[in-house]
């Protein structure tokens, strides 16, 4: 397997500016055409507007489950970031390959694609599946239609390797996430008569304070899981807006908050606590002044955590394929929890580091890309060997 091929493919992938707000179809069509040249058929799963698509392809026998090599095609924006290089043109300096998505996670995708000829030439006993998604960066949204189909198939995949940047160390766990928007509808009046209005900002502040109290409870030692950093579920408010002018009691205020939940903790408990507090404590006071005020909670996105048992057969197999039993966890989320929820046990392992992700001058080292190519070669040998028992 040629390092030159991985680098060439990474250069092509970086050239597609697949920021989540934009289409990924040019990249998907490039991958589809590349696979077609190797006689590999693929399926596309479009969004409702047909502006984006997931791609799924199978190499090898179709009468049994196999290994999914999964990754997302979208990247975060470069707006406002001071890059030393063109973010959508691959650049090399001192053993590093720079460009938006090199680490997160087009380096992995390039290595997977570079291995396709190897997979095609091998007489695979179990299939290797490629699953490339969209809109991972905005809440792991795009992969869901594809997973809904795979989950129902007679021969659904048996395990999954997601190539998020982990320094090629297998990751068995990450937190889940719930993102919510809270809208407070108050009653405006002249600020000289503030007691006769319902100040939406002040009530939003009470709700945010409640979230802080919930976060403090979750941070107590009895809720810790030492495998994670920080070792507890967290709650934070990230966006707030409201009010029109200082001399008007504000009629509206909204804020967005998120819960990063340890595996096993239901993040919706936080939203339910906030809703109960709003209904029992705040709305009666607000409606004592004016009846048509309200507090509304709206989910923005949600994905589950991942907790693959380190002593499981899946962990053993994927550790062998990754080339390391140095299991770990990460603070960021992945699509792994969704694959696992669909009954496809998952490990996260890919080239690069998330320390470089989402930043200007994002990069992956040539050494890490070379290591990922070696991982693909191990996968090819494993899938071509005697029919293994996976479960």
Close Cβ partners of 240 (under 8 Å, ≥ 6 residues apart)? 204, 208, 253, 254, 255, 256
φ and ψ of 327, to 5 deg = -65, 145
Question: Which of 110, 132, 109, 159 lies closest to 54 in space, CA to CA?
Answer: 132
Copy the structure tokens of residue 144.
């869901």
Angle in degrees, CA 166, 170, 175, rounded to 5? 75
Burial of 129 (0-12, 13-18, 19+ CB in 10 A): buried
State both tokens at 359: 């930043």
Is 161:347 a contact under the CB 8 Å cutoff?
yes
Tokens at 54, concatenated: 């997931």
Sign of CA dihedral 338, 181, 205, 290: negative
Task: Return the beta strands (E) in the chain as ranges.
Answer: 42-46, 53-59, 67-72, 91-93, 96-98, 128-133, 159-162, 171-174, 176-185, 234-242, 252-261, 294-303, 306-307, 328-330, 346-348, 363-365
Phi then psi for 256, rounded to 5 degrees? -110, 135
Catalytic residue among 104, 135, 136, 361: 136
Catalytic residue among 29, 33, 49, 74: 74
As a whole number of angstroms, the distance between CA 161 and CA 218 comes to 31
CB atoms within 10 A of CB 82: 7
C-alpha–C-alpha distance, residues 348 and 193, integer Å: 57
Q: How many residues in total does the chain contain?
A: 391
What are the residues whose beta carbons fall under 8 Å from the beta carbon of 95, sequence distance 6 or more?
365, 366, 367
Place of tokens 């399926």: 43
3-class DSSP state for residue 299?
A: strand
43 is catalytic: no
74 is catalytic: yes
Q: Which residue has the tokens 């239609």?
A: 145
Catalytic residues, by residue number, are 74, 136
């Amino acid at each position: 397997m040629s390092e030159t091929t991985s680098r060439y493919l990474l250069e092509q992938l970086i050239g597609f500016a697949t920021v989540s707000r934009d289409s990924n179809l040019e990249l998907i069509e490039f991958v589809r055409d590349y696979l077609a040249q190797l006689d590999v058929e693929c399926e596309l799963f479009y969004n409702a507007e047909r502006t984006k698509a997931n791609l799924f392809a199978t190499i090898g026998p179709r009468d049994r489950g196999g290994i999914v090599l999964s990754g997302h095609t979208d990247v975060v924006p470069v707006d406002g970031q001071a890059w030393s290089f063109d973010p959508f043109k691959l650049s090399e300096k001192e053993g590093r390959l720079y460009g938006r998505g090199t680490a997160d996670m087009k380096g992995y995708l390039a290595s997977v694609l570079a291995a396709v000829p190897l997979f095609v030439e091998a007489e695979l006993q179990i299939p290797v599946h490629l699953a490339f998604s969209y809109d991972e960066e905005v809440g792991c949204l795009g992969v869901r239609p594809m997973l809904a189909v795979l989950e129902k198939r007679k021969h659904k995949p048996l395990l999954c390797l997601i190539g998020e940047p982990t320094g090629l160390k297998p990751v068995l766990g990450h937190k889940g996430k719930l993102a919510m928007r809270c809208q407070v509808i108050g009653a405006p009046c002249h600020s000289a008569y503030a007691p006769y209005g319902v100040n939406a900002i002040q009530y939003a502040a009470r709700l945010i304070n409640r979230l802080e109290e919930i976060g403090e409870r979750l941070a107590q030692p009895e809720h810790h899981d030492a495998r994670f950093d920080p070792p507890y579920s967290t709650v934070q408010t990230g966006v707030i807006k409201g009010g029109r002018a200082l001399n008007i009691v504000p009629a509206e205020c909204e804020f967005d908050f998120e819960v990063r939940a340890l595996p096993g903790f239901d993040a919706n408990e936080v939203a339910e606590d906030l809703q109960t507090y709003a209904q029992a404590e705040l709305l009666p006071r607000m409606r004592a002044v004016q009846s048509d005020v309200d507090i509304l909670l709206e989910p923005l996105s949600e994905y589950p955590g991942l907790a693959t048992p380190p002593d499981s057969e899946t962990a053993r197999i994927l550790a062998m394929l990754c080339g390391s039993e140095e299991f770990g966890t990460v603070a960021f989320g992945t699509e792994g929890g969704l694959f696992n929820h669909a009954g496809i046990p998952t490990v996260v392992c890919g080239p690069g580091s998330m320390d470089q992700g989402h930043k200007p001058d994002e990069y992956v080292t040539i050494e890490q890309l070379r290591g990922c190519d070696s991982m693909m070669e191990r996968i090819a040998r494993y899938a071509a060997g005697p029919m293994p028992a996976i479960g």
